[in-house]
Amino acid sequence: MPASPAVSSTVQNVLGGKFMEKEMTALQKFINTAIEFLTNYSFQVLGAIIVLVIGHFVGKWVHDIMLRFFEKKKFDITLSKFLANCIKIIILAFAVLIALGKFGITITPLVAALSAAAFGLTFAIQGPLSNYGAGLAIILGRPFVVGNTIQVKGQAGIVKEVTLACTVLTDEDGVKITIPNKHIVGEIIHNSFQYKIVENMVGISYGDDPEKAIQVIERTIMSFNEVAKEPKPQVGLQEFGESSLNIGCRYWIPMTKYFQTLCAVNLAIHKALAAAKIAIPFPQRDLHIVSGSIAGK
């Protein structure tokens, strides 16, 4: 015979009561464990948090002091940032070790485990590691520093930041160029410091006086405040072209104003040569026709 509704309801209540009893028992165990942990380790947890907070602020304070000291002594800014960051990381590392000691954790097994993991990950992160090694070589070797104008791997710009992983450049348009350091070390680097060189030629007619043209061009270039006075601009007769005497020009201008200054100087040279009645010829050919009788006719 099927069980009556009253019996079924009684069975469900009993089962539900046992389930709730198990849930309450588990909850009570969790609460007891939490209370026991807080009772035994509350001061350790609080001490570890205090140590980490103090380590953070002390590291930042020492970092700022070191930067000001290096700036006062006129150290290289790239090397200054690197050393200050290293000191900050060391202080934070000591704070973490002290915080771990609050829980009775010894660092020897931890260091061994990290060393094994680092060895296993070496092959997977060869790219980043090579960048860090190259970045360290750049920071210590100092082939360039922040503020220099460099050209490497077809990219040119002003060095804004040098980190262990990459070097950041900016060009005249404000474009940020990030170059991984492994693509810099071992390459040919052109470092013109804060300036970039302009190499140009202006052709004049063979009938004009080249010395006069050189004086006009040099005076025009020197009239621009953006052009560096040292090293002095170089202007001279560079080559004999097919249709013109080619006057070579070499001068230095800041990278941040490279194109606008270059265009302004070129226009000023054109106007100055025209005012001095010195012609800039266009390519031309002389055609000689020889007429005569053809043999046998």
Q: What is the CATH code of the structural domain delimited by 137-191?
A: 2.30.30.60
Radius of gyration of the chain (CA): 38
CA distance 284 to 210: 20
**Cβ atoms of 95 and 51 closer than 8 Å:** yes
* Residues belonging to the chain: 297
Domain range summary for the chain, segments of one domain joined by +: 26-109, 137-191, 195-275
- Give the pLDDT confidence of 115-126 residue by residue, as tens digits: 655 555 454 445
> Which residues of the chain have a pLDDT value below 70?
1-23, 34-43, 45, 76, 102-128, 284-286, 292-297
The correct CATH number of 26-109 out of 1.10.287.1260, 3.60.15.10, 2.60.40.10, 1.20.1440.230 is 1.10.287.1260
- Digit-coded pLDDT (tens) for 21-58: 666 777 777 777 766 666 666 667 677 778 888 888 88
CB-based contacts of 138, cutoff 8 Å, min separation 6: 78, 144, 162, 167, 181, 184, 185
| CA 226 – CA 275 distance, rounded (Å) | 23
Q: Are 240 and 246 in contact, with CB atoms under 8 Å apart?
A: yes
CATH architecture observed for domain 195-275: 2-Layer Sandwich (3.30)
Residues 193, 195, 199, 204: is their CA dihedral positive or negative? negative
